[in-house]
Amino acid sequence: MKIAFFSTKSYDKDFFETYHQQQGVSFKYFSASLSKDTVALARGYDGVCVFVNDHLDAATLEQLAEIGVKLVVLRCAGFNNVNLDAAEKFNINIYRVPAYSPQAVAEHALALILTLNRKTHKAYNRVRDGNFSLERLQGFNLQNKTIGVIGTGKIGASFCKIMKGFTDVLLAYDKFENDEVKAMGVEYVSLETLLEKSDIISLHCPLTPETKYLIDATSLRQLKKGCMLINTSRGALIHTGDAIEALKEGKLGYLGIDVYEQEEHLFFRDLSENIIQDDQIARLISFPNVLITAHQGFLTKEALQEIAKVTFQNILDFQAGKENENRVSK
């Protein structure tokens, strides 16, 4: 099978080249993201391989079907960028990588927490400038703090396991309770209770119509004053404008995000010589208690190896007509 590979970065090629020309599968790498404007690049290919900011809307899927593409392999877990109704209508098979490395994302959430709290990023820059002052670098102990976890799938469960090493007070909210998480001693509570009692809240749920803007003006008003909010899941879980207001008012004490609602126009590219046109991200960057990373939570050697391995197997299973639990359907 010939696969058109979109939104390619150097680290993608490093790991996928292992499978190039194996068992009849070949990859053609494109740096462009997939959308209705770039579909023509997939002409002559059997399938496409895409990432989080590629657009698989109805128009794109219809054009893919018209040029004979029957397979879309996502090299990520989330599939909120795919119109599943259109995929079914145009007989396009969608596969994902549901659990490439829950630990990678969970550990990155911890990194955001520790960096925001102990201000190691600021200390690093100070020392490089010869400034060894400790003024304004005060943090707090994580021990005995209440940690709230929204979403307790594989990543959320991994995050809970990590945080048990810091505190025994963990609260969780999920429509579907995870027995593994309960066995750790994590208490499931209502969303309202979690928001009101947590000192730190970490988001680990998928983006669906139900969870879009889960954190908005209403939920932000319920937070304990000075609460830390961490998001390594999907940007649109947080209403950015409302979060900015909560930061200005001091209600939200810290914000650490590895995802952003409008990230497709910013992340995964070097804009250091450009004027950033997004006023909201510019405002967030200006806050001293906000830490932003550019969707790097997945970026570990182990995760990239697993993504390549599972994606390749998804292609082989489709090619062989085998059932595969990674297939996404409406």
**What's the average model confidence in pLDDT over 283-304?**
97
Residues 198 and 214 in one domain: yes
Q: Could you tell me what percent of the chain has a pLDDT over 70?
A: 100
Residues 133 and 47 in one domain: no
pTM: predicted TM-score of the whole model, two decimal places: 0.92
Which residue is it, tokens 């609260």? Answer: 171
Please, are residues 306 and 101 in contact by the beta-carbon 8 Å criterion?
A: yes
As annotated, the active-site residues are 234, 263, 295
Q: Could you tell me the CA-to-CA distances from 47 to 4, 67, 74, 146 in Å, in that order?
A: 6, 10, 11, 46
For residue 64, the model assigns a pLDDT of 98
For residue 129, the model assigns a pLDDT of 97
Residues 96 and 40 in one domain: yes
Residue 291 has pLDDT above 90, yes or no: yes
Please, are residues 140 and 118 in contact by the beta-carbon 8 Å criterion?
A: no
Range of the domain at 242: 102-292
Instruction: Pick the closest to residue 70 from 46, 105, 41, 100 (CA basis).
Output: 46
Residues 82 and 146 in one domain: no
Residues 144 and 159 in one domain: yes
Residue 94 has pLDDT above 90, yes or no: yes
Number of domains in the chain: 2
Q: For 203-249, what is each residue's pLDDT tens digit?
A: 999 999 999 999 999 999 999 999 999 999 999 999 999 999 999 99
Q: Could you tell me the CA-to-CA distances from 286 to 108, 114, 115, 289 in Å, in that order?
A: 22, 20, 17, 9
Q: For 31-56, what is each residue's pLDDT tens digit?
A: 999 999 999 999 999 999 999 999 99
For residue 81, the model assigns a pLDDT of 93
Residues 109 and 161 in one domain: yes
Tokens of 206: 């998928």
Domain at 236, CATH number: 3.40.50.720
Tokens of 64: 């893919």
**Residues in a beta bridge with 255:** 229, 290
Confidence of residue 330 (pLDDT cuts 50, 70, 90): confident
Let me know how many helices (H) and strands (E) the chain has, helices first. Answer: 12, 13
Which residue is it, tokens 């209600």? Answer: 251
